[in-house]
Amino acid sequence: MMTLLSVWSESPLSDLSTVEIVLLSVLAFGVAYVSGMVGMALGVVRLPLLIAFGISVPVAAGVNLAVSVVTAMTSGWEHYRSGRIAFRVVILIGVPSFIGAFVGSLASDSIRVWILLSLVTLVLLWSGLVALARALRSRDSEDSQPESMQQPLPGTRRLLLETAVGFLIGVLGGAVGLVLGTVRMPALVNVLKLHPAIAVGTNTIIGLLVGASGFVGKLINGDVDVLLIALLGITGMVGSYLGALRTGQMNTNNLRLAIGIVLIVVAPFMGVRAAIEFPN
Rounded to 5 degrees, what are φ and ψ at 194? -75, 150
Q: Per-residue pLDDT tens for 238-259? A: 999 999 999 988 988 889 899 9
Rounded to 5 degrees, what are φ and ψ at 113? -60, -35
For residues 199-234, b (16+ Cβ closer than 10 Å) or e, as one string? Answer: bbbbbbbbbbbbbbebbeebeeeebbbebbbebbbe
* Cα(201)–Cα(23) distance, integer angstroms: 28
Residue 2 has what pLDDT?
A: 45
Q: How many helices (H) and strands (E) does the chain have?
A: 11, 0
List the chain domain ranges.
17-141+152-277
Contacts of 161 (CB under 8 A, 6+ apart): 191, 192
Q: Are 48 and 275 in contact (CB under 8 A)?
A: no
Residue 158 has what pLDDT?
A: 80
The conformation of residue 54, written as its DSSP 8-state character, comes to: T
Task: Kindly report the pTM of this predicted structure.
Answer: 0.85
Enumerate residue ranges in the chain where pLDDT < 50. 1-2, 142-144
Residue 15 has what pLDDT?
A: 85
DSSP per residue, 23-36: HHHHHHHHHHHHHH
Residue 6 has what pLDDT?
A: 64
